[in-house]
Structures are given as structure tokens and as C-alpha cells.
Amino acid sequence: METIRVYEARDLTDIKRMFEQRSYNGENFPFEITAGGFVSMVQTDESNQAKIVMLARLSAEILSFNDPSWRGPADRLGLGARLYRTLEKDLINRGIQQTWIRIPEDIAVSYGRRVLAAGFEKEEWPVYVKELNNGT
């Protein structure tokens, strides 16, 4: 019987086969799917083999705000870095494996350098976003 169910370890062979049949512009297979960090659904055929798979990476977008009238820039930077390290630990504990950060244009150059220094990478590719709002 065809079913929709969550990913199971036995689906990995089918997923690798489907990945190899598609061109992803030289991307490597996302082996991290076996380590969690995804909410994954599988459509099976009558033999319970995975035929369609959707992997939803658990990620978080970071929005950072600060009061420019509070303390000096160096203090805010240090305190913000400490706050980020605490946030990062919390995200890891929640199973989040990837974070995104949006930087206001007026500070993109100066703050962007600091974000890169914190281990982020600047990436440019088409991204499509849908806000999930519990059906309201």
C-alpha cells in the first residue's frame, strides 16, 4: 500500500539513488540527513520503497537588534558576541544545524565583517521563502 510516512534509515539507499538521478550542479549528497536536523517525509510505493522524499532542514534565521544609545560600539559588540554564543548553544541543543542572519543595509559592510569573523559565510543564490503561520 502506498503511504506517506517519516524518513527511516532504510530509506537512505533509495534517497541516494534518487539524488544521483538528478543534477544538483555538482553538490555532494547531504549526508547530514542521517544525523538528524531534518524533518523528513517519504511517499512510498506498494513495496514501501521511498519514491518521493522531502527533507526540511531545521534552520533558524537570526535577527539582531541593539540600542545604539546604550554603551559604546565596542561594548555592544562584545556583549552581542557573548549573547550569540549562548544562542548558538541553545540552537544546537534544539537540533538546529544551520542559521541565517539578515543584516540591515546601513551596517552591512561593518557588521558583515564581524559576522564573517564569527564563522558565517556569505552566500548568494536564489532563495525562495514561505512564511508558515499556522493556517491563519
Other C-beta atoms within 10 Å of 45: how many? 13
pLDDT for residue 49:
93
pLDDT for residue 97:
79
Identify whether residues 72 and 106 lie together within a single domain.
yes
Identify whether residues 44 and 74 lie together within a single domain.
no
Per DSSP (E only), the strands in 1-136 are 4-6, 38-44, 50-57, 59-63, 98-102
Which domain, by its residues, includes 12?
A: 4-57
Identify whether residues 72 and 46 lie together within a single domain.
no
- The pLDDT mean for the chain works out to 84
Identify whether residues 9 and 49 lie together within a single domain.
yes
Identify whether residues 75 and 111 lie together within a single domain.
yes
Distance CA 38, CA 59 (A): 9
State the total domains in the chain. Answer: 2
Reported as a single tens digit per residue, the pLDDT across 26-76 is 677 777 776 667 778 999 999 999 999 998 888 888 888 889 899 998 899
Does any domain span residue 135?
A: no
pLDDT for residue 123:
78
pTM of the model: 0.66
Q: Answer with the one of 57, 76, 92 that is the final residue of a domain.
A: 57
